[in-house]
Chains A and B, each alone.
Chain A
């Protein structure tokens, strides 16, 4: 069964910490995405990557960075965590072709205290 795996389901971090969220997919997908999900706001795109070492800003990149050193792995980095980054983070992947849906991971619920 193909999968997108996020390393942690729940995380609690302190303000100012550097936080790494990891995502791995086993479908050989070219595209990978990081979203955050907040009540009433839906899914908002933080960053995405269309190839190894390539990255593009999404709609809300401030306070985040990403890394994609290998095709199957896409990391989201919170450089200095703040309380307003408390959220559910979802990773997704897709093939490069048009008209194909995303496969999502189960999400990481991050709480910054």
Chain B
């Protein structure tokens, strides 16, 4: 099955700096890569996603890049703010193909701390 690795496990940045979280995946059949943000005491929430036919996607201060050849994708947060402090998860999916049922394979999470 798919294996997703995520680094770093913890990341501390100063407010206003950029933060980058990296993930690698093992199965070249994966074609959908969402990122989730989990605030304390809450369930994960989708913040951005990218499909395999796209190399980069931006949404305000958040961007995701995908390198299919190297099988890695990254989350970039610019101008970080204290409210960005949370745990971030990456995931990979092969979609709704036979026997996969749109299952996601998650990374182990990155705890981001943005210091004021």
Q: How far is the CA of A103 from the CA of B97 in the complex (A)?
A: 20
A55-79 at interface with B (beta carbon < 8 Å)? 56, 58
Partner of A48, one of B44, B97, B101, B108: B101
Within 8 A of A (CB), among B28-43: 31-32, 34, 36, 41-43
Interface size grouping (class) on chain B: 20 to 34
| A98 & B44 in contact (Cβ 8 Å cutoff) | no
Total contacts A to B, CB within 8 angstroms?
67
The CB with the most chain B CB atoms within 10 A, among A33, A35, A41, A99, is that of: A99
Report the minimal beta-carbon distance from B53 to chain A, rounded to whole angstroms.
10
When the two chains form the complex, which single residue of A40, A56, A105 contacts B43, counting CB atoms closer than 8 Å? A105
Given A90-B43, A101-B49, decide whether A56 and B107 contact each other with a Cβ distance below 8 A.
no
| B45 contact set on A, CB distance < 8 A | 104
Contact A97 B49, beta carbon cutoff 8 Å: no
B8 CB to closest chain A CB (Å) equals 13
Check: B46 CB closer than 8 A to any chain A CB: yes
A106 with B101, Cβ < 8 A, contacts A42-B107, A42-B108, A98-B32 known = no
Q: CB distance A43 to B106 under 8 Å?
A: yes
Q: Indicate if B26 sits at the interface (CB-CB under 8 A).
A: no
* Interface residues in chain A, defined as those with a beta carbon under 8 Å from any beta carbon in chain B: 4, 31, 33, 35, 40-43, 45, 48, 50, 56, 58, 90, 92, 94-107
13 contacts between A and B (CB under 8 A): A31-B102, A43-B106, A48-B101, A95-B102, A97-B102, A98-B93, A99-B93, A99-B95, A100-B102, A102-B34, A103-B46, A104-B44, A105-B43
